Structure 1
Amino acid sequence: MIRVTNSKEFSRILSEYAPLVARVAATYEADAMHRQDLIQDISLALWRALETFRGDASLKTFIAKVAHNRAVDHVLKETRRHDRLQCDESLHEVLSSGHNDTQDKALDLMTAMRRLNVRYRQVIALQLEGFTHGEIAQTLGLSEAAVSQRAHRARHELETIMGQK
């Protein structure tokens, strides 16, 4: 169990996993201001949740679970509030600057991922973070078979979406 007894320790953990949190937020929110709000919401959720961390999984898996759960809540809340505004803002702030085919493909992928159903988006986002099917299953509370099925369907939908470009 991790006991975060002071803000310095929490800041260290948050700094270490900031890129992961930022990528999760970017997967779920296109608008830069809303994305920053989501990152703050995730950080607060992590502050509250770390005292419940029992070490059943890695700290990275635990943080990803909290971040994804908070991001899903964010999407559902925004959907209920208004018909989910579609922002045209690019992800250049999230990815490194400069233009090349790899970056363009990454931008296309992030845009396409936002069009996926949340249950598929979660699985693909965690795969892109390097999580195994077992870790994803543990993070999302699913069986490995369900994760494998969702990953397959998500890839198929992404191919369809990206083929429409």
Structure 2
Amino acid sequence: MTQTARIEDILSQYAPLLARIAATYEADLGLREDLIQDISLAVWRALETFRGDSSIKTFIARVAHNRSVDHVLRESRRNNNLSDENIDDLQTMSSNATHQDKQLDLMSALRQLTLGHRQIITMQLEGFTQLEIASVLGLSEAAIAKRASRARQQLEQLL
């Protein structure tokens, strides 16, 4: 199997993970699709440097989260309101108590968290352990536990 085919297989396998990560950072569908493409390209480039220090899933999540943070910062400079209008649109759409509506409410609440808290909660929702999250974010497990607790409290208030 060629290197290109291997990378394509990895991107295909982790496409749902990348889409979920992008969705927690970007509400606008068009911008989210651009972000997914940006993340995929970043993963494609970064996979050549993967040394096996962590699992491939952890490595890909690190790249995706870093690219997503860059996206949010870039968009916030371009549009100083951090997509408050998009959050309001999502909240307006969520009038029923269906499963999909609850997911929209969660996504909207996640977008209101600080970037640091958003990263931790998103990764926990993806099934990462605190040790894996610490590895991705370059923090201690204790710091992750503390931030996760604060983030859950904020989410409870928002929901």
Structure 1 segments of 4 or more deviating over 4 A?
Answer: none
**Compared CA separation, residues 135 and 4, structure 1 to 2 (3 A):** farther
Question: Do the aligned partners of 1:42 and 1:67 also contact (CA within 8 Å) in 2?
Answer: yes
Matches within 5 A, 1:79-158: 79-83=76-80, 84-85=82-83, 86-87=85-86, 90=90, 101-158=98-155
1:143 Cα shift? 0.3
Instruction: Indicate if the aligned counterparts of 2:7 and 2:47 stay in contact, CA closer than 8 A.
Output: no
Structure 2 partner of 1:41: 38
For 2:61, the equivalent position in structure 1 comes to 64
2:72 maps to which of 72, 75, 84:
75
Residue 57 of structure 1 aligns to a residue in which SS?
A: coil
| 1:104-162 per-position Cα deviation (integer Å, ceiling 9, x unaligned) | 22221111000000000000000000000000000111100010011000000011111
Pick the structure with more helix per residue.
2
| Same amino acid, percent of matched pairs | 61
The letter for the 2-side match of 1:106 is Q
Q: CA deviation at 1:102?
A: 2.9
TM-score by length of 1: 0.86
Give, in whole Å, the separation in 2 of the partners of 1:29 and 1:156.
22
Counterpart in the other structure of 1:5: 3
Look up the SS of the partner of 2:54 in the other structure.
coil
Aligned equivalents of 1:150 and 1:123: distance in 2? 8
Using structure 2 for the length normalisation, give the TM-score.
Answer: 0.89
How far the C-alpha of 1:100 sits from its partner, in A, is 5.8
Q: Report the Cα offset of residue 9 of structure 1.
A: 2.2
The runs of 5 or more residues in structure 1 that have no matched partner are: 91-98
2-structure distance, mates of 1:132, 1:100: 30
Alignment: residue pair count: 152
The letter of the residue matching 2:111 is R
Find out whether 1:20 has 2:17 as its counterpart: yes
Report if aligned partners of 1:30, 1:89 keep a CA contact under 8 Å in 2: no
